[in-house]
Structure 1
Amino acid sequence: MTTDGTVAGIWIYPVKSMAGAARERVRLTPTGPEGDRAWTLVDATTDEVVRSKHAPGLTGVAPTGDPAADERAATAVLGRPVRLRAVEGSGADAAAVHLVSRQAIDRAGAGDVPEGCSAEDPRANVVLDLPDDDERTWVGRTVRIGTAELVVTRTPKHCLGVYAEVRQPGEITVGDAVLL
């Protein structure tokens, strides 16, 4: 394996559709980063899941870890009562881990962005610094970061970066080498 770059940032999204929280390190499990998308918001009247694409203001609300406070904050933004529900299994919609490089974010800022994607907030778990590579070429390859091993499965349709599954659980830390 050769060093291809480094981990520039780690993010988890404790409540789906709400703001993320930066972490210095995280453990990757078979279902993704510990604590990532562990909760979802549901409409208190209909019990339907509330999604950020229909309520974009939620992505600016930072979860506090206090369920009652988080419910009040989301209710205030939405103008209707919502409650938190624990997610069973993986809370990720597409893959266990979403990787994106700073270079992809820069390209998106310059106009090279898939339709429906946000260059400002790609909602990725791991932000990479890849001075000499493009993560989109990694599909089908194995990537080692820290003590974890990932298999890159595909590029997202409407997001930057790539999706990966966890082959070997382990811990990753900001500054870790990215090995291919």
Structure 2
Amino acid sequence: MGTVAALRRYPVKSMLGEALTAVKVTEEGLSGDRKFAVLDEAGAVGSAKHPRKWEPLLSCRSRLTAPGTARVELPDGTALPAGAPELDERLSGLLGRRVSVSDKSPEHGTLERAVPAYDGGVPDVLRAGASVDGAGDAVTTGRVAPGTFFDHGTVHLVTTASLRHLRRAYPAGDFDPRRFRPNLVVDVPGGPGFPEDAWPGSTLRIGEALFRVTLPTPRCVVPTLSHGELPADPGIMRAVAREHRVPVLGLGRLSCLGVYLDVLEPGAVRTGDAVTRGGCG
């Protein structure tokens, strides 16, 4: 069906991550993925889904240096270990308020998402109930999964077929997969765009690991933002909204790209590994 074209891990939530050639997959996802997050004193978990508050995190890069430890490279090139007081001080200056890096998900931590203007960017029921924060942004508020810094599924996959479709629909756009922050980029040659629409409920064998495909990935504003050397492009998500709005649970038709996976059998995954689809489990 396809092969693993790229593997990526994001040790600190909403920071740039690292490219891998091999990774251990555990029941909790890729080893070291979203191990840390930036928290503020109000209990908010740092997420670029609320760009006005957290977009500067996408100018920082995180790398795992050993199990349970990571280093953060700041925009000026300074690299500091996660948990170091100097890193917290520097990030506080970057974000304009007191923050700290933690590997402990707060019991009552909140996760804010800006409400995008394009259709399908947020369920209608949440759009109707959005509040306006102190900066004047319409936001919805939720929580990360208990005990983790994940929003939904523990593993995120996008296909080259879907990215090719979007490039044809919006030739001026830069559909570099890094904009969509996947763990797995799967090369699916030829065929129609969005082959993953048929996958929810089925299993995928990828390398030594077995996954269940749970649901399509609703997209927020993050792909439109600047990611390191990738410039901001507000047309990216407008193209996704035009080309690919699909039903998600009972939330209506949302702008989606990629799918979320749960881990059924842990194991190693490497670039070049075959991806094969099984039946519904």
Which TM-score applies when normalising by structure 2? 0.56
What amino acid is aligned across from residue 272 of structure 2 in structure 1? G
Give the structure with higher Rg (CA). Answer: 2
**1:76–1:155 distance in 2 versus 1, CA, 3 Å:** same
Count matched residues: 172
Q: 3-state DSSP class of the match of 1:160?
A: strand
Give the CA RMSD over aligned residues: 2.3
Match of 2:99 among 82, 96, 99: 82
> Over residues 56-79 of structure 1, what are the superposed CA-to-partner deviations in whole Å (9 max), with x where a residue is unaligned?
231231025112365355334312
Q: Deviations over 1:98-127 (max 9, x none)?
A: 010122223233447xxxxx9661111001
SS of equivalent to 2:57: helix
Q: Which moved more, 1:119-128 or 1:145-154?
A: 119-128
Partner of 1:14: 11
Q: Are the aligned partners of 2:204 and 2:275 in contact in 1 as well (CA < 8 Å)? A: yes
Question: SS of the residue aligned with 2:3?
Answer: strand
Per-residue CA deviation, residues 117-154 of structure 1 (Å, 9 max, x unaligned), is: x9661111001101145122111111101110001111
Q: C-alpha distance in 1, partners of 2:55/2:168?
A: 23
Which of 131, 135, 140 lines up with 2:201 in the alignment?
Answer: 140
Structure 1 residues 15 and 94, CA, compared in 2 at 3 Å: closer, same or farther? same
Partner of 1:165: 262
**Could you say which residue in structure 2 is the equivalent of 1:58?**
57
Asked if 1:126 is matched to 2:122, the reply is no
> Mean alpha-carbon deviation: is it higher for 31-40 or for 61-70?
61-70
Unaligned regions of 5+ residues in structure 2, if any? 64-70, 72-80, 106-146, 171-175, 220-255
Whether 2:51 is the aligned partner of 1:28: answer no
Distance 1:10 1:120, change over 3 A: closer
Alignment of structure 1 residues 97-136 onto 2, 5 Å = 97-111=155-169, 121-132=179-190, 134-136=195-197
Identity of matched residues, %: 36
Between stretches 158-167 and 122-131, larger displacement belongs to 158-167
Matched, 1:95 2:94: no
Distance in 2 separating the partners of 1:130 and 1:70: 40
Note closer, same or farther for the CA distance 1:167–1:82 as it changes in structure 2 (3 Å cut).
same
- Unpaired runs of 5+ in structure 1? 113-117
192, 203, 211: which one aligns with 1:150:
211
1:176/1:95 CA distance change after superposition, 3 Å: same
**1:31–1:90 contact (8 Å) kept in structure 2:** no
Q: Which has the higher contact order (CA 8 A, sep 6+)?
A: 1
Amino acid at match of 1:84: V
SS of 2:37's equivalent in the other structure is strand
The SS at the match of 1:151 is strand
Secondary structure of the structure 2 residue equivalent to 1:52: coil
Separation (CA, whole Å) in 1 of partners of 2:13 and 2:274: 28
2:234 — aligned with what? none
Superposed displacement of residue 27, structure 1: 1.1
AA aligned opposite 2:58: T
2-structure distance, mates of 1:24, 1:39: 22
Q: 2:34 aligns to what SS in structure 1?
A: coil
The one-letter code matched in structure 1 to 2:259 is V
